[in-house]
Every structure is written in C-alpha cells, then in structure tokens.
Amino acid sequence: MDKNNSTNTIFTDKFPNLKSKDELKEHINKDPFKSYDPYYVRCGVDPEMREFFNKMWRSYKPYADSNFIKDLKKHFHQRTWEMYVGYVLLKKTITIKSHNNDGPDFVVTIGDRDINIECVAPESGECLEKHNTDGQVHDVPNEDLQLRLTSAIRNKKEQYKKWLGNNKVTSSIPYILAINTFVDSWPTSWNHPRIINVLFGIGNQVVQIDKNTLDSKSFFKEESTLKNHNKEDIEKAIFMHLDYSFISAILFSQRDVINTPREKEGSDLRIVYNPNTTNKLEPDALKVFQEYKL
C-alpha cells in the first residue's frame, strides 16, 4: 500500500462541524478549500457523510492508486465512483487482482478468467450546470445529456487504444466500462435509462396515426448520430460500432455515490452486455449484478 493511502479517512484536511449553509459557503471559499471540489468539502464537514465514505475507504484503500487521496480532493465524484465500484466488487467477493496507476482501474478474476474494469463519471459541464441551477423552466436537454455520455465512452476508447499500444492491456481480456450516469438523472418520457439510447442507437419516441382508421402505434426512431454544438455528427449506437467491440459490457448506476443504497449496497448497479463484442463474458460471470434488458 502506498504511504499516502495508509490513513483510515479520505478526508485528510481538518474540517469543523458547521451548522448552517452560510457557514459552509464561507468555509468553501477559504484556503485551502476553495481549490477543492465543493462536494469534498460538503461531505468533509458532515460527520455522517464522512463515515459513509470512510467505511468504503477502509475496505478499498489497499487497492487505491498512489494518487487517489490527492486527486479525490479535486475530482470527488469521479474518484468516489471508482471507490464505490471497487467496494461493491469486494462486498460481492469478487477478487481484485491488481490496481495500477497506469492501466485499467481494476483487473478482477472471476473463475479462471481475468476481466479489466475501467471507471468513468462524466461531469455535467457548463451548459447542464446552468440548466440545473438558474431556477428557470427548461426543456430536458436530451442531446446534451447523451453527448456527455458518448464523449465519456469515446474518450475511454482512445485510452484503450493507447493501452494496447503500450502493452498495458491485452485485447483477448474482456473489458467492462463502469459508468456513473448521474449526469443523466434528468427525467425521460420513456421507461429506460438514457444510456440505453446511447448504446443501441435509440432516438425519440414517436406516435404514428393512420389517417383513415385513426389507429395509432408508438415506437422509437433509430438514431445513429447526434449533433454537437458545432453541428458535427457524433457517433451514437455505441454497441453497433466495431470500434467499440472491445467493450464486453457496460456497468452503470444512475445515482451519485452520496445517494447509493445504504442497506443493499450495489443494488443500484446494472449491467448491459454488448451483443457485438469480441470478448464475450460467460452468461453467469457477473450474475451478482442485475442485467438490464430491453
């Protein structure tokens, strides 16, 4: 274990117990906290939140990379998501074989097979933050939300290519991308998470009415691309593209770690298998996670 991870708390700064939002706001703007992720500070001043995260940390810390504590202060959502996934894997008695500073977040062993797991937690970005905080009524920004998810997956594809070139991964080992889709917690007009639209190229729901009989039927349009803010086509239907066939499955949660279940830890996680992967997982390899099916 790296000496930086020997502590039993991820909150290594000295935090006072604050009693009001005004005190918290004032504290966040003080040194050194003003340079930190605000959620790190907000959780650090709350004894209940500190213990919630430290409970996971005490199990997870032998597997954390040497930069974990330092980076968590700046990227709290991303790093606590990684910790949560690792903690749940351990709780479900899945062996974490290694966790290196350079390469996939986890190499786990299930049966006699290794599996790479990489974690990502997209940020909301300036546009979505404005929608969330300006107090105005907005249309649900479906395209912006999907672009956030596709961008995160695309970046991991480029990272995977570099790892292949540097011999950090082997193409014959299954790869699972664990993505926190809390950025996508906006409501939908359909019954499935928006990440499913991104993976399978599902567009908007439409209604077709027969002009003679007035009978109607509802279905989802196919949608293989999205337009970004520069009006460029961005690939969607991730599982339909051969470039993404290295992904064996997507493991996802629609909750940020702060709001994950306290009693049934990991029950928020769902797994979606890539039907076109070059590295298929055995059907019961990850039966500890609930499979999401269309």
Question: Tell me: the pLDDT tens digits for 167-208?
Answer: 999 999 999 999 998 865 555 556 788 899 899 988 777 778
Q: Where are the beta strands (DSSP E) in 9-168?
A: 95-98, 106-110, 113-120
Instruction: State which of 25, 43, 65 marks the end of a domain.
Output: 65
Residue 208 is assigned to a structural domain of this protein: no
Q: Are residues 179 and 243 in the same domain?
A: yes
Instruction: Please tell me the pTM assigned to this model.
Output: 0.86
Instruction: Answer whether 258's CB lies under 8 Å from 49's CB.
Output: yes
User: Hunting for tokens 């998470």 — which residue is that?
Assistant: 193
Structural domain ending residue among the three candidates 15, 45, 65: 65
**Shared domain check, 116 and 7:** no
Q: Which two tokens stand for residue 261?
A: 């279940």
**Residue 154 Cα distances to 82, 122, 230, angstroms:** 19, 12, 17
Same domain, 49 and 106: no
User: Exposed/middle/buried for 19, CB within 10 Å: 0-12, 13-18, 19+?
Assistant: exposed
Residue 231: the pLDDT is 83
Domain that holds residue 7: 1-65
Q: Which residue has the higher pLDDT, 115 or 143?
A: 115
Region of poorest pLDDT, from 19-23, 32-36, 211-215: 19-23
AA letter at 188: T
Q: What is the pLDDT of residues 221-260, one digit of tens each?
A: 778 777 787 888 788 899 999 999 999 999 999 888 988 9
Closest-CA residue to 276 (of 255, 236, 251, 247): 247
> Cα(231)–Cα(75) distance, rounded to whole angstroms?
30
pLDDT of res. 139? 52
Q: Are residues 139 and 194 in the same domain?
A: yes
